[in-house]
Structure 1
Amino acid sequence: METSNNNQTQTDQPLVSVNILSYNSMRYIEGCLDTALAQTYKNLEILVIITGSEDGSAEFIKQKYGRQKRVKIIEPGVNLWFSRGHNLGIKMCQGKYALVLNQDTVMEKDFVVKLARVMEQDQSLGSVSGKLLHYNFSFNSKTKILDSTGIEIFKTRRVIDRGQWEKDDHQYDADTEIFGASGAAAFYRRSALEAVKLPKRNSEFEYYDEDFIAYKEDIDLSWRLQLAGYRCKYIPEAILYHGRTVGRSWPNQLVRFIVNRKRQPRLYRKMAFKNHYLMMIKCELRTHFWHQFGFIFVRESLLLIYTLIFEPFQFAVVSMLYRELPEAWRKRKLIMANVKTDPQRIWKLFH
């Protein structure tokens, strides 16, 4: 088990696999890979999954990092999006732990060692999250604006990145049990991922749900890990910077919701809309759903009104949802058969 001494030899450290999905990443990838290679935790393998890039980043990665012993480059040749791309990396990695990273992330040099230490000390953890702050790539500078301190879920089934867009005034400096880790930088126990993977119809398996393609797949995986009895913890001492576009911190939540949604392309909003319902179909415990039905009903009714007024194009998703419903129900049966936790423990995570 890892001690607090950072001078521990590499052979004493369990292997950590860093999976980075690269798509047209020329603006970001150098900072991401350089900080991965500079980690004080040395027993790392770094898998770069290059998915259909057209901006010269694939050639740059191969030229600068192709001879690095710890870097493995995977080129499927097409854009696999988030779920399929990271699933490919997880299947090919060898580590006891898997750190799933967005390409627009920059790590402090002790990010991995601090997360790995916590995972080694507590075998009940399936995942951990560090403190994610915003990185301004326009000025190539770190900021004090929070990006995520973990996934937070509410009784209404609204899900947010905890603390997002707030200034970091040390209000999130306590180790905290959370619902899940943001997919921008999620540190998973590999055995936990194996415990919640879902069989596909072609005899293969998936960790992130590939029917989601992108958006909310990290929430879905977090929910499945919780149901299988794996906890998630937020570790504020582990710092990473993420280049997600910063939204204005509006005082009114409704205004913030509308403005930030308008900034998203329609395709992304449609995927998030569909995946929200697929996730609930798959992962809801009946006892939780009926006890919190009033909260859920009010929010879903308000979302329906909002959609009718501002996003009527979303109703095209209904046919997609209908087609994917049988597969979601098949997965639900598998997930429910794998529930190994006290429902009351998860109940406390719905805020």
Structure 2
Amino acid sequence: MPSVLLSLVTWNSADSVEACLRSALAQTYSDFELWVVDNASRDDTCTRVEALAATDARLKLHRLPQNTGFCGGHNYALDRTQSDYVLLVNPDVEMQPDYLAQAVAAMQRDEQIGTVCGLLVQSLEADPYIDSAGMNALPDGRFGLRLHRQRVSEADLTPGYVDGADGALPLFRRRFIDDLRVEDHFFDPRFFAHKEDWDVAWRGRLYGWRTWFEPSCRALHPRQFLPANLRLRNRLASAIKTDAVKNQWLLLIKNTTPAQAPRLLLQAIPRQLAIMAYSVLFERSSLPAYRYVWQHWREAVESRKLIQARARRGWAAPAPQAVERPARPAGVGAPAFH
């Protein structure tokens, strides 16, 4: 069994997937298997993936009959594999050849490290803008991209612990994945896409896991989705904006601890009420997010009970020999929100 699974979820990704896969297959750390889980693409994504798969047996294509989102696609791969580590790969990422080798080496620094994230840059110019260098936890229940839009030459790129990893290219330890499962899901399928990396980062911190930023891991990621930018937001599909609103409420419901609640909610609720007012006045396409949260309130509270109970136990060193999880039989994951 390969020691690393590279999990890549595609949906109409034909314009970028070949360059992404070529960079993955060119990694100097070669003990990996690469799964492409396609969410019912309507373009020629699968044709392009199949052509590359014919040249490298490590590349496997898994077609899903419906779009299960970022969360459902990666859950499909995580539930059916047993590798020691998993590298999530966005289809618009291009890695330097030693990204995986450097990330695996960084993971060995401390058994409490559950995630390693690298330096993602927005272009191939000599001194590019940084896309992300991990994430910072904000006091209102959100996460921000570390060093976003700073020039590489001007940023402090010291390796070290950070609050979380952006979802574009994190390396996860398998024990971390299995520990964070709630109702047998690593990624909450209700999120579909967007802010699921915030959810994982928050839950990991609650459980005592740590995230390491390793700048020697470097990759290209020309990010497009920034919902706080109103000019860009106006061009986004309604479903994307709805997910962004819905998932913030799910984050707060599930992950806010009793100790955090007074200060965090004092800062989070005014912002969320302002977003609700904005939706009513200017972005009515986002209002289904509130209906969804209302309809699924009880399920979110049940998830909260499980998360808070696990958080109270804190982090514990691994047992001498981990119990192997049986692979789940093939099939499609939880229904999509859309």
TM-score over 0.5 for the alignment?
yes
Shift of 1:277: 0.4
Partners of 2:68 and 2:256 in 1: CA distance: 28
Decide which moves more: 311-320 or 230-239.
Answer: 311-320
Distance 2:192 2:127 in 1: 30
Match of 1:242 among 221, 246, 251: 221
Partner of 1:161: 145
Write out per-residue CA displacement over residues 200-256 of structure 1, whole angstroms, 9 at most, x where no aligned residue: xxxxx2110001111111111111111111111211111011132387xxxxxx9x7
Local SS of the residue matching 1:129: strand
Structure 1 residue aligned with 2:71: 83
Match of 1:288 among 250, 260, 264: 260
| Aligned residue type for 2:314 | T
The alpha-carbon deviation at position 74 of structure 1 amounts to: 1.3
Query: How much does 1:61 deviate?
Result: 1.2
1:299 corresponding residue in structure 2: 271
Pick closer, same or farther for the CA change 1:168–1:56 going to 2, 3 Å. same
For structure 1, the residue ranges without an aligned partner over 5 or more in a row are 1-10, 200-204, 248-253, 343-351
| Structure 2 counterpart of 1:5 | none
* C-alpha deviation, 1:301, in angstroms: 4.2
Q: Are the equivalent residues in 2 in contact too, given 1:47–1:93 (CA < 8 A)?
A: no
Query: Of 46, 50, 57, which residue of structure 1 is paired with 2:34?
Result: 46
Given the two structures, how large is their TM-score scaled by the length of structure 2? 0.86
Aligned residues: 314
Give the structure 2 partner of residue 193 of structure 1: 177
Give me the TM-score of the superposition, normalised by structure 1.
Answer: 0.83
CA distance in 2, matches of 1:336, 1:246: 31
Correspondence for 1:172: 156
Question: Which residue is equivalent to 1:311?
Answer: 283
Matches within 5 A, 1:1-351: 15-135=3-123, 144-199=128-183, 205-245=184-224, 257-339=229-311, 340-341=313-314
Q: Secondary structure at the match of 2:64?
A: coil
* CA displacement at 1:307 relative to structure 2: 3.4
1: CA distance, partners of 2:167 / 2:190: 16
5+ residue gaps, structure 2, are 316-338
What do the CA deviations read for 1:48-69 (whole angstroms, capped 9, x no partner)? 1122122212122112223522
Residue 195 of structure 1, CA deviation: 0.7
Cα separation, partners in 2 of 1:326 and 1:110, compared to 1, 3 Å:
same
Please say if residues 127 and 152 of structure 2, whose CA atoms lie closer than 8 Å, have aligned partners that are also in contact.
no
- Contact between 2:137 and 2:164, CA under 8 Å: does it hold in 1? no
CA distance in 1, matches of 2:130, 2:54: 33
> Residues of 2 paired with 1:118 and 1:89: CA distance?
23
Secondary structure in 1 matching 2:260: helix
Question: In structure 2, what is the Cα distance between the partners aligned to 1:314 and 1:63?
Answer: 39
Counterpart CA distance in 1 for 2:196 and 2:225 is: 21
Asked if structure 1 preserves the Cα contact closer than 8 Å seen for 2:142 and 2:198, the reply is no
Counterpart of 1:49 in structure 2: which amino acid?
A: V
The amino acid of 1:47's aligned partner reads W
Distance 1:84 1:213 in 2: 7
Distance 1:50 1:308, change over 3 A: closer
Aligned to 2:332: none
Deviations 1:242-279 (A, max 9, x none): 132387xxxxxx9x732232232221111110110011
- Is this contact kept in 2: 1:198–1:207, CA < 8 A? yes
8 Å CA contact retained: 2:157, 2:215: yes
> What is the aligned-residue RMSD (CA, Å)?
2.3
CA deviations on 1:296-334 (whole Å, 9 max, x unpaired) are: 244334434433443244333221111111111111111
